[in-house]
């Protein structure tokens, strides 16, 4: 285990490394084997671990003890992976982080049950905080977990609509993705007993960063390489209402809209992806997407700058935000 004196918010990589080592001491029972083998399948996949590290960094930034925050940080990661298990079932996805999804490997019934038990364990780990802060921690998590489910339903509703607005899409990804990043930071600051103002600013920082993160995820799904760990153009194949797809439709003329509609019905997935991307390029969708991401990223950094934490702590979180925002997969 790393020495505690280097675990400061100026050392994002060290905190991430410490989390990987320390969280290995936590985990799930061995039996029934069929259940927990499916759980461990996704938990042991190589992921970004952004949410637990954010929680630890939020705690550390205001002088909290990150060892106290370890169990809640792991709980947030368990919850996040629970949502992925069920999302993959709904999306009929075959791959996650380059490996078979849980339902693909173990079957839908075991995957559903694995997700259910992960939700229970998430609450168990998140509840491992001092009694005096248990209520605000659980209140934050309960609100966030509900919003994540609401965001998933919005996403499903969009599947049968062509008229999804940018505003509706932004609310959907706020709930489905951003609120969990924001809540991770807020829970970390609650554990550190930061002021209400700082808690709110850190939440805002995480929320705007999360929005930029999800739009970047949309972009990488379309334009990223195999390191993304998903089928390239998967959102296009599934006719997902992403920021790119909505921007394309809002920009397109009637002839181009007709072509977009025709491409949604295309059975040849390679042609569907390549021709949709070609149309995106004609409509300057990549440039418009990058401009919007940049706006959100700057708003996130502005909120961080307003907090009362020390400058070296801000630098660590800025570094972390830079890694998230400028990632290539």
Place of tokens 């049968």: 160
What's the predicted TM-score (pTM) here?
Answer: 0.87
Q: DSSP labels for 264-300? A: HT-S-HHHHHHHHHHHHHHTTHHHHHHHHHHHHHHHH
Rounded mean pLDDT of 197-202?
97
Count of beta carbons in the 10 Å neighbourhood of residue 10: 21
| Residue 2: per-residue pLDDT | 36
- Please give the DSSP secondary-structure letter assigned to residue 31: -
* pLDDT tens sequence across 89-129: 998 888 888 899 999 999 999 999 999 999 999 999 999 99
Average pLDDT over residues 29-44: 93
CA-CA-CA-CA torsion sign (24, 51, 86, 276): negative
Q: How far apart are CA 55 and CA 76, in angstroms?
A: 9
Predicted confidence band of residue 279 (pLDDT cuts 50, 70, 90): very high
Mean pLDDT of 31-38: 93
Residue 95 φ then ψ, to 5°:
-130, 145
Task: Please name which of 132, 28, 36 lies closest in space to residue 75, comparing C-alpha atoms.
Answer: 28
Helix (H) or strand (E) holding 38: helix 33-43
Beta strand 95-96 with 99-100 is antiparallel
Three-state DSSP class for 87?
helix
Q: Express each pLDDT in 155-183 by its tens digit.
A: 989 888 888 999 999 999 999 999 999 99
- Give the pLDDT of residue 97: 82
Dihedral angle of Cα 299, 300, 302, 305, to the nearest 10 degrees: 180
Provide the CATH number for the domain around residue 101.
1.10.600.10
Region 138-164: what's the mean pLDDT?
93
- Across the chain, mean pLDDT equals 91
**Domain containing 50: what range?**
4-325
pLDDT of residue 295: 95
Domain count, the chain: 1
Model confidence at 226, in pLDDT bands (50, 70, 90)?
Answer: low
């Amino acid at each position: 285990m790393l020495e505690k004196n280097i675990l400061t918010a100026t050392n994002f990589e060290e905190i991430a490394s410490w989390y990987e080592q320390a969280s290995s001491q936590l985990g799930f029972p061995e039996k029934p084997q069929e259940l927990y083998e499916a759980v461990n399948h996704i938990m042991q996949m190589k992921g970004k671990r952004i949410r637990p590290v954010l929680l630890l960094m939020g705690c550390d930034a205001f002088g909290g003890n990150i060892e106290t925050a370890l169990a809640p940080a792991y709980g947030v990661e368990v919850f996040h992976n629970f949502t992925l298990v069920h999302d993959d079932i709904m999306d009929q996805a075959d791959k996650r982080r380059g490996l078979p999804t849980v339902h693909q490997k173990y079957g839908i019934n075991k995957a559903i049950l694995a997700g259910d038990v992960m939700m229970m364990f998430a609450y168990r780990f998140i509840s491992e905080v001092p009694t005096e802060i248990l209520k605000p921690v659980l209140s934050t998590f309960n609100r966030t977990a509900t919003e994540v489910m609401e965001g998933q339903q919005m996403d499903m509703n969009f599947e049968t609509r062509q008229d999804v607005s940018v505003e509706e899409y932004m609310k959907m990804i706020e709930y489905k993705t951003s609120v969990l990043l924001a809540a991770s930071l807020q829970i970390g600051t609650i554990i550190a007993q930061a002021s209400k103002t700082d808690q709110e600013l850190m939440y805002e920082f995480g929320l705007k960063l999360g929005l930029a993160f999800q739009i970047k995820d949309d972009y990488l799904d379309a334009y990223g390489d195999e390191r993304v760990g998903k089928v390239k153009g998967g959102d296009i194949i599934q006719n997902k209402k992403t920021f790119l797809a909505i921007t394309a439709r809002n920009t397109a003329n009637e002839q181009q809209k007709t072509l977009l509609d025709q491409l949604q019905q295309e059975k040849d997935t390679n042609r569907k992806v390549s021709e949709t991307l070609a149309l995106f390029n004609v409509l300057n969708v990549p440039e418009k997407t990058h401009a919007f991401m940049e706006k959100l990223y700057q708003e996130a950094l502005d909120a961080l700058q307003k907090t009362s934490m020390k400058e070296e702590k801000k630098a660590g979180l800025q570094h972390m935000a830079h890694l998230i925002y400028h990632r290539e997969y």
